[in-house]
Structure 1
Amino acid sequence: MPLIKIQPDEEVFEIGRNQTVLQASLDAGIAHTHACGGRARCSTCRILITEGLEYCAPRNPLEETLAQKLGFPQDIRLACQTKVAADIAMRRLVLDIEDEHLASDQVKFGKIGEEKFFAILFSDIRGFTKLSETMLPYDVIYILNRYFQAMGEVVDLHDGMINNFMGDGFMALFGINDPDRAAENSVRAALGMIEALEQLNSRIELLFANPLKVGIGIHYGTVILGAVGTRQQKNITAIGDAVNFASRIESANKEFGTTILVSTDIYQLVRNQVTISSTPKEAKIRGKTGTYCLYEIVDILPDLSVNNHNSNSVNLSDHNYINLNKKPNNQFYKIWQLLQTKIF
């Protein structure tokens, strides 16, 4: 009969022809976690095949469904569903109660640590800390809530998701539902945010005299996306160099006195739709060597996919741009279904 070498237990045991790896492991006295009872519903029996993957039977439909949901590579298998034809070596991946909770959460939330391409937008209110020092605590919270609500509606409208609030700033991701238009949607959202802020300022100035000003930075790149937090509360978040770069671009607005700056990666994807204010700005980015070209976006052509699905040309005489000096014609916005990201 085939032999299985298992780590970290440092045991070797036999496996019968019709046995699963889990059954053989339990028969050998291994404390192999299997919270769902071996029904391919929890993934806590997961194993890493370190030798002999070619001797493992292909995934059955139950295992394949869960593997697709969780983004397992080929060498991560469910012991409760895997049968082998010759000797293999493997490692148990769920070793204690904490590992078991994490594995169960992964089934609940889906892929963890998945790398994807997104347009990342950072926005920050300029000088808000100093402004808040002159205001009552209630007024500070009131303004932030009104601001976040207004900005969030614009982000949602353009197929984005705000996934992190940081004081008076936030990070939004674009490309979850429509990856091909991630860059375009992020730029449309940024310009729409400026319009929404102008409307909000008309109210804020009546109450507090000082209007709000923001800086927005956008970059396109790969991020690691997953549900992070405690067992009681997890949030979808994104980390990686692209996220840090987008944050640095937002900060560069202070140096150049601009409002919306984007990276070369974003600009190359939308260059036929947008107008920039001047030549690219050469910026030194904190944490990186050399200089980087940043582009100040001031307007974008109408979204013809909404206004006229059959038109392949743009009539420039319409002048229905979204820009920082003229309020946009909202008929060119596409109303996307609000992305519901609920953590249970």
Structure 2
Amino acid sequence: MERPAYKVRYCSINREVYTIDPDKSILDISIENKIPHLHECGGNGRCTTCRVRIIEGSENLSKVTPLEKELIRKRNWDPSIRLACQAQVKGNVAIQRIVWTSAEVSKLQLETLPADIGEERSLAILFCDMRNFTVLASNHPNYDLAHMLNTLFTCLGDPILMNNGIIYQYVGDEIIGLFGTASLDGERACMDAIRAALGMKYALERLNRLEFRDFDEKIEVGIGIHYGRAFVGNLGHPKHKQFSVLGDPVNVASRIQDMNKVLNTNLLVSEEFINNLPPDTLMTGLREEVNLKGKEQTFKLVEILGFNHFDTNLEIQASMEILLKDNEGFAEYFYDKLFTRAPAIRELFKRNMLEQGRMLTHMLGGIIYGLSRPENLHMGLLSLGRQHIKYGVKKEHYAILKETLLETIEERLGDFYKPEIVKAWDNAIDLITGAMMKSYDYDKVES
């Protein structure tokens, strides 16, 4: 007797797929059908990025697992939300993916805040302000100005989101980032914040060379970072509350940013901030003890020039926009090279190569964002390795993949090529493929 085929409808992309296996999860079905579906931890219930909203057919899913019940309690989810990795399809369902891109993952931290009163947390607070905005506004039509600001905020916001940060506010030409909203680890919050700040400088360099060249403008920014305890929670009218951060550290971070104009610098941090990092982490410049506007005590500020050591994550993140801006072009270029180098590998790809290319770039983007969350990334890569074993990928294929991917990256960087970027990708690919290849050892143990 044939098993019935169950229909899974993905509402947002208007696509329907079918499964006959009642033990398959929604995530399994997405992966099987080459539908990009975030799952940072590899579908092991360690994160919540694969969550979906059940539009129809909630009764046709497996029961809510204890793990999901705990998340529902902690994060105050409504009953329509399930983890795609936990919910098995037992009948027809209609779903909507909630977290579409890796850039959205950082916002999930806000779910860990108490629903009503909020609480105090230690945060790294970053203020970034555009220089000479008044002059810029007077030189360009309003619509051009809006376009430039949106482009700038995207450029400066990405490094915040890649490093576990939350974009708190846009105030005129200023962007504010928060780090540590879901972590008690001060060192990690400060490392994320400084990597984001240095990533902003990289991104701005690219922006000035490309997008803003046609406007005959060179944009400069000032960045200030402070670390301290602030109130985080939802404030406002009971029917219209908004996430808010209150406290002296917010004001201090803003004043530190302002001091860049006085000291002729572009990245300043407080002593309180830098004390959370291991010694010699950063390359520093000017050190000044200053009076900040509205503050009675003096503050010791330090100019940051960069990392003292090679930072793989920073170089990888800085190259992401260049490499993946044309997702389809990158994937097509890579697979053309791969099949030319190893024609036999072509037989492993049974599906539409356009879909395959989208899966590749979706996966790469997820891994780049996941570098700042290694606790999830390793599990995710192990699961990815297991999937590739099922596809017929052999251990010896990984060396060919690495060689082809590095060659593709080097050529696609174009004028932005730097040996440091290729070195970073070399390191990252070793990390990725090393974790994926461990799945062969796991499978031997289990068998």
Give the TM-score range, shorter chain.
Answer: 0.5 to 0.7
Partner of 1:266 in structure 2? 273
Give the Cα–Cα distance (whole angstroms) in 1 for the partners of residues 142 and 255 of structure 2.
29
Q: Does 1:148 align with 2:153?
A: yes
Answer yes or no: is 1:284 the counterpart of 2:291: yes
Instruction: Decide which structure has greater strand share.
Output: 1
Query: How many residues are aligned here?
Result: 217
Instruction: Identify the residue that residue 199 of structure 2 maps to in structure 1.
Output: 192
Q: Distance in 1 between matches of 2:236 and 2:129?
A: 24
CA distance in 2 between partners of 1:265 and 1:107 (Å): 25
Q: Counterpart of 1:151 in structure 2: which amino acid? A: L
- Indicate conservation of the 8 Å contact 1:164/1:237, yes or no: no
Question: 1:108 and 1:192 mapped to 2: Cα distance?
Answer: 27
Secondary structure (helix, strand or coil) at the match of 2:210 reads helix
Alpha-carbon contact 2:112-2:182 (below 8 Å) kept: no
Give distance in 2, aligned partners of 1:294 and 1:107: 32
Residue number in structure 2 paired with 1:54: none
Shift of 1:255: 0.2
Give the 3-state SS of the residue equivalent to 2:275 in structure 1. Answer: helix
Structure 2 CA distance for partners of 1:126 and 1:304, relative to 1, 3 Å? closer
1:153 is displaced (CA, Å) by 1.1
- Per-residue deviation at 1:192? 0.4
Counterpart position of 1:98: none
SS in 1 for 2:276: helix
Does the CA-based 8 Å contact 1:224-1:239 persist in structure 2?
Answer: yes
Structure 2 vs 1, CA of residues 149 and 328 (structure 1 numbering), >3 Å: closer, same or farther? farther
Three-state SS of the structure 2 residue aligned to 1:297 is: strand
Q: Distance in 1 between matches of 2:125 and 2:260?
A: 16
1:213 aligns with 2:220: yes
For the 8 Å contact 1:159–1:178, the answer to whether it is kept is: no
Amino acid at match of 1:240: G
Taking structure 1 as reference, are residues 222 and 135 closer, same or farther at Cα in structure 2, changes over 3 Å only? same
Matched with 1:23 is none
Say whether the 8 Å CA contact 1:195–1:327 is kept in structure 2.
no
Bigger mean CA offset, 220-229 vs 154-163: 220-229
Under a length normalisation based on structure 2, what TM-score does the superposition of the two structures give?
A: 0.44
Contact 1:120 1:173 in 2 (8 A): yes
Q: Tell me, yes or no, if the aligned pair for 2:119 and 2:231 is still in contact at 8 Å.
A: yes
What amino acid is the match of 1:277?
Answer: G
Equivalence for 1:25: none
**Separation of aligned partners in 2, 1:156 and 1:327:** 25
Change (3 A) 1:108 1:232: farther
Provide the residue aligned with 2:242 in structure 1. Answer: 235
Cα distance, 1:255–1:216 mapped onto 2, change above 3 Å: same
- Does the residue aligned with 1:269 lie in a helix, a strand or coil? coil
AA of the residue aligned to 1:188? R
For residues 297 and 114 of structure 1, the distance between their equivalents in structure 2, rounded to whole angstroms, comes to: 31
* Secondary structure, aligned partner of 1:242: helix
Structure 2 counterparts to residues 126-145 of structure 1, below 5 A: 126-145=131-150
Q: Which amino acid aligns with 1:267?
A: I
The 3 A distance-change label for structure 1 pair 138 and 281 is same
Higher deviation after alignment, 107-116 or 145-154? 107-116
- In structure 1, the residue matched to 2:118 is 113
User: Rg bigger for which structure?
Assistant: 1
Equivalent residue number for residue 4 of structure 1: none
Structure 1 gaps of 5+ residues are 1-64, 71-105, 310-325, 334-344
Q: CA deviation at 1:111?
A: 4.4
- The secondary structure found in structure 1 opposite 2:218 is coil
**Contact kept? 1:124, 1:216, Cα under 8 Å:** yes
Whole-Å Cα distance in 2 between the matches of residues 251 and 222 of structure 1? 21
CA distance in 1, matches of 2:167, 2:72: 28
In the TM superposition, 1:74-89 aligns within 5 A as: none
Match status 1:160 vs 2:168: no
Q: Which runs of 5+ in 2 are unaligned?
A: 1-70, 77-110, 314-370, 375-417, 429-447
Deviation (angstroms), 1:140 = 0.6
How many Å apart are 1:207 and its aligned residue? 1.5
* CA distance, structure 2, for counterparts of residue 182 and residue 218 of structure 1: 11
What is the CA distance between 1:203 and its match in structure 2? 2.3
2:283 alignment counterpart:
275
8 Å contact 1:217–1:250 — kept in the other structure? Answer: yes
Measure, in 2, the Cα distance between the counterparts of 1:204 and 1:67: 45
Q: Deviations over 1:253-294 (max 9, x none)?
A: 00001010000011112243111013x112110111142110
Q: CA deviation at 1:248?
A: 0.3
Distance 1:231 1:292, change over 3 A: same
Q: Once the 2 structures are TM-superposed, how far is the Cα of residue 239 of structure 1 from its aligned partner?
A: 1.1
Residue identity opposite 1:228 in structure 2 = L
1:67 Cα deviation from its structure 2 partner? 11
CA RMSD of aligned residues (A): 3.2
Structure 2 Cα separation of the partners of residues 174 and 155 of structure 1: 8
Asked if the contact 2:113/2:233 (under 8 Å) is kept, the reply is: no
Task: For residues 41-85 of structure 1, give each alpha carbon's deviation from its aligned partner in whole angstroms, at most 9, with x where no partner exists.
Answer: xxxxxxxxxxxxxxxxxxxxxxxx999889xxxxxxxxxxxxxxx
